[in-house]
Amino acid sequence: MFLVHRIRSEAVRHGTAAGVRRGLETTSGVISAAGLILAATFATLTVMPLLYLAQIGCIVAIGVLIDTLLVRLFLVPALILDLGGRVWWPTFLPGHRPRTGTAAASDPHPGDQGRPAVSGPTS
């Protein structure tokens, strides 16, 4: 939530692509450090004499590391860049409004310039 909130606040001022870059620059260190500390905390359970606590500690530590280093630093920004301005639905960035009705053909959304129009299924 911290990363996406920062990306959105930067996207309001600079656009979605620049917002992702600026958001990652400012929050990636904090997110990585917090994830490493949390993983190390759970990894301490691996030295417990109870086997199930050691297994749970190891699994949770690995899960936190995957979430911290893979999901938050690579997959979330990639998804935001791939979806562009649509990622902020149901609200939109100021100055951007959704395309609806017949006005969509004559007044394209500013973030969709150069993209082909997507039409629904025909029967």
How many residues would you count in the chain?
123
The whole-angstrom distance between residue 117's C-alpha and the CA centroid of its chain comes to 25
Whether the pLDDT of residue 118 is over 60: the answer is no
pTM given for the model: 0.65
Decide if pLDDT at 120 tops 70.
no
- Give mean pLDDT, residues 52-69: 94
Q: Are 28 and 73 in contact (CB under 8 A)?
A: yes
